Structure 1
């Protein structure tokens, strides 16, 4: 009888431990949080020991809730935030707080690394399939070497978040191809799949400080006695390498075949399509990274802030919504969605730009910021709420434009993440993009489901990742409303024009 898989979905604010079957069915889950620190502007850090404490707490709670024995857990698999930096010493002890994906302190280093266009194309794009920005690992490592040389010299290994968790589980320093590929130090050409000596030498990064690399479904070790005790599991439980959050979500979305598209709305957003050959759009800042499926890449367009914009409004201006939700015994976002649905499509021409912490695709600008454009006395809170949902959807359409230039038109989008729980948001996204939106079942569990299914492939329960397309069910489909689409088609070009008109001011304010 197949055992269970414990999947860790390791995000920006919390880790969710989930007990899954080998079919990706969810049995139980538990969440534990950790802090996000901003010690300086553009900095975003976390304490790796808080990660482990949250992981052990949630794992024990999930095991209890599932009412199964530790012996019933066949393997652990991980989906984790990517593009982080955790320097550790020879004992695996962190030498400083982790510099996470949201951190953009290394903009000067990124600019120097990329150099001129010709140098960037020859050095980075040809080898890695992309080029470094201020939030990418190679830029952060160079920043560390230049600004904290004592830490850099003492560092035995330079880890990502998932690598740190694997080390705590097994004592091994291993990373997956997908996480390695977003460092932009990894030669991801077919048949290569190894760290680039050329790039590491030019960046001044000793290759011995980097982890070994393997495909995501690989069993990388077994739980040590110490880790097993911390987690409440059996010593010797298999640990599968797993993958970053975007590749895991790709698997968990069910859009696993070539040129199928899924979108995610959570703290951040992305639009992703599996491809068999690396593709790139420099103008849209879209690149290909390695997939959890070792036979494919995934084309990724990423938005830094989406659902967190809605959360920001709730936390800072949403007291009334919280009170109303408590009275009704419902989630506060249900109240906000209901009010947003009362506003007419287009929000009376109020436009929200969701660029609240810099932006990647298609802007690649760490100075850009969010805001409401065309706000007037005729607007009410319903328009403000709806404008946030529409602003995120406008930006997703902008990313989708770049993706479709590379793979052609797509008929539908599989939608996952917390935002996919909102029927209002699903319909807005359908109306703005003009695509059928397929709201996947249990959309917030896509990362956990993807990690579990990746392990199931590695353990031999499926012959290929393509088989997983039929494993993930759809909850509901949303077709575009032609009348609403006409309104959004008028406003969308103005949304894009805002950046062009204001980018100089953003740089003056935020450099």
Structure 2
């Protein structure tokens, strides 16, 4: 389950995928930087999609051994003792906890707004530190505590989406060593023995009893509740394995299982990652590592923010606004956009798009910079806008790759590409040309997270060993970079970086008032 949709599928231990279902979910944007989703809607959409996945493959239903959930993360849900939600889910986009995080992390001597001794301790124990933007689990907890004290007091636990879904499936509230990472309250120095740390809890002012108990990433949570198994059409002894962040499962589903095998994802958001054997952090560029879905390993956390959402925003706001009677709806709007982009030469006639519609996350913690089209003229067409968005997301990924490669100390000779964006051959080729390296597309890019979650479940059940996983991810096609576009994209990439440096002060001035807005009650 991502930010905008739920997907369900049946996945075999050989990597075969059947009966994929998709359901939309909505986000409510609120004054003062609020962004919320409805956990009841999540649960309804998950049940609906899962029922249809099982019903769509009646010959396979009796073979289902386990259910695995992988979801968006740094999203916080207050639940009761049975896992029922008591209020809204605070999205990873929500910044309303920012002032309270700043209060928690400050002190003297100060380093970039953090007390030096606190920053050292957070990095040593967790591999990072709370974001002063409030866009992480601790920011959301502090928002509940200070602005929704009624919900804070009533909540049995605060959990992440995958752990919320697992609680609805089993009636058991728990989290894995990996899923509580974005709260900056756990000691992750040993990925096989992660625990809440009393000093971090004390600094944050969060009681440990408000947080779920932790279990190993490769453990079984329990069987499905009988009524859930009946509703989904599954055997009553079907088990639920511990959930995972989408970045955890994506690494496995992309086939990036060995250390330093790089991949990137483009869906609503984008990131680049790989498995690594150690804990490391680079706070200047917002890079860190977190316990992986494979026990005893770490995975790079480099979440870049909005990507495919930029194309969706262009479609809904400018090109094909839903409900506008003057615009004929396209049968397949994304195929239509793809065809438009293909009609424009590489470089979009030097039209640049900066994709920071929700600010810059990695490699710069900058929530105030925004997106723009640069160098428009009277010759600019809708096709130019579409291709420029696709190229802008690719330039942003190139910016991220530079810092990820420095972080891991390796150069990626090629990259695997998954997510909805990878379905487009054109976008795959644009990434190959902009990044200047071969792009490998797995056979099931749109549901690679589901494949990865399933493979992690098979490891937890003892059906597969971790070293078997990479070979079970088939590569559908490899896109080679086009030498003729190299100089053009190198030049435009340089202008892309220059645009960020030169426009950043302007955006900070324009958005200064927004920083001072009163927090939503």
Per-residue deviation, 1:75 = 0.8
The 8 Å contact of residues 324 and 335 in structure 1, kept in 2 or not, is answered as no
| Residue equivalent to 1:375 | 376
| Segment drifting more, 311-320 vs 217-226 | 311-320
Q: Which residue of 1 aligns with 2:441?
A: 439
In structure 2, what is the Cα distance between the partners aligned to 1:509 and 1:417? 34
**Aligned counterparts, 1:20-419, within 5 A:** 20-68=11-59, 70-115=61-106, 116-117=110-111, 118-133=116-131, 134-190=134-190, 192-319=193-320, 323=328, 325-326=330-331, 331-407=332-408, 408-419=410-421
Quick check: 1:309–1:356 contact (8 Å CA) kept in 2?
yes
Q: Which piece of structure 1 moves more, 445-454 or 373-382?
A: 373-382
The alpha-carbon deviation at position 150 of structure 1 amounts to 1.8
- Structure 2 distance, partners of 1:114, 1:498, is 32
- 8 Å CA contact 2:82–2:173 kept in 1: the answer is no
Q: Cα–Cα, structure 1 residues 45 and 320, in superposed 2: closer, same or farther, change >3 Å?
A: closer
Alignment match, 2:484: 483
Q: Is the 8 A contact 2:443 2:475 kept in 1?
A: yes
Distance in 2, Cα, partners of 1:324 & 1:15: 24
Instruction: Tell me, in whole angstroms, the C-alpha distance in 2 between the residues paired with 1:50 and 1:357.
Output: 24
8 A contact 1:181–1:187 mirrored in 2: no
Q: TM-score, normalised by structure 2?
A: 0.91
Do the aligned partners of residues 223 and 434 (structure 1) sit closer, same or farther apart at CA in structure 2, a change above 3 Å counting?
same
Deviation at 1:119, TM superposition (A): 3.3
Q: Deviations over 1:168-220 (max 9, x none)?
A: 11111111222111221111102641112111111011111111222322111
Secondary structure of the corresponding residue to residue 28 of structure 2: coil
2:173 & 2:329 partners in 1: Cα distance?
49
8 A contact 2:83–2:173 mirrored in 1: no
- Give distance in 1, aligned partners of 2:361 and 2:368: 11
Q: CA deviation at 1:411?
A: 0.3
Task: Kindly provide the CA deviation profile for residues 436-471 of structure 1, in whole angstroms up to 9, marking residues without a partner as x.
Answer: 1111111001011011111111111112x2321110
Contact 1:352 1:373 in 2 (8 A): yes
- Counterpart contact for 1:289–1:298, Cα < 8 Å: yes
User: Structure 2 matches for 1:441-480, cutoff 5 A?
Assistant: 441-463=443-465, 465-480=466-481
Shift, 1:96, TM fit: 1.4
Give the structure-1-normalised TM-score.
Answer: 0.93
Instruction: Specify every segment of 5 or more residues in structure 1 that has no aligned partner in the other structure, as ranges.
Output: 1-9
Q: What whole-Å deviation, never above 9, does each CA across 1:275-332 have from its counterpart, x for those lacking one?
A: 0001222222111111111121111211111011111111222239984843xxxx32
Does structure 1 retain, via aligned residues, the 8 Å contact 2:7–2:447?
Answer: no
Write the distance in 1 (CA, Å) between the matches of 2:221 and 2:431: 40
CA contact (8 A) 1:419 1:425 kept: yes
Kept in 2: contact 1:224–1:236 (CA 8 A): no
Q: What is the total number of aligned residue pairs between the two structures?
A: 497
Deviates more, 1:441-450 or 1:17-26: 17-26
Evaluate the alpha carbon distance shift between residue 35 and residue 67 of structure 1 in structure 2; reply closer, same or farther with a 3 A threshold: same
Kindly indicate whether the alpha-carbon contact (under 8 Å) linking 1:59 and 1:232 is maintained by their aligned counterparts in 2: no
SS of corresponding position for 2:179: helix
Q: CA deviation at 1:60?
A: 1.0
The 8 Å contact of residues 242 and 455 in structure 1, kept in 2 or not, is answered as no
In the superposition, relative to structure 1, how do residues 193 and 499 fare at CA in structure 2: closer, same or farther (>3 Å)?
same
The more displaced of 494-503 and 430-439 is: 494-503
1:120 positional shift: 4.6
Could you tell me how far apart the structure 2 residues matched to 1:344 and 1:114 are? 49
C-alpha contact (below 8 Å) 1:24/1:450 kept by paired residues: no
Residues 223, 239 of structure 1: 8 Å contact kept: yes
Distance 2:32 2:149 in 1: 21
Is the Cα–Cα contact under 8 Å of residues 84 and 168 in structure 2 kept in the other structure? no
CA distance in 2, matches of 1:119, 1:498: 36
- Conserved in 2, the CA contact under 8 Å of 1:267 and 1:307? yes
Tell me by how many angstroms 1:506 deviates.
2.0
Name the SS of the counterpart of 1:178 in structure 2.
Answer: coil
Cα distance in structure 2, aligned partners of 1:453 and 1:323: 42
Distance in 1 of aligned mates of 2:509 and 2:38:
32
8 Å CA contact 1:228, 1:235 repeated in 2:
yes
Deviation of the 1:428 alpha carbon: 1.1
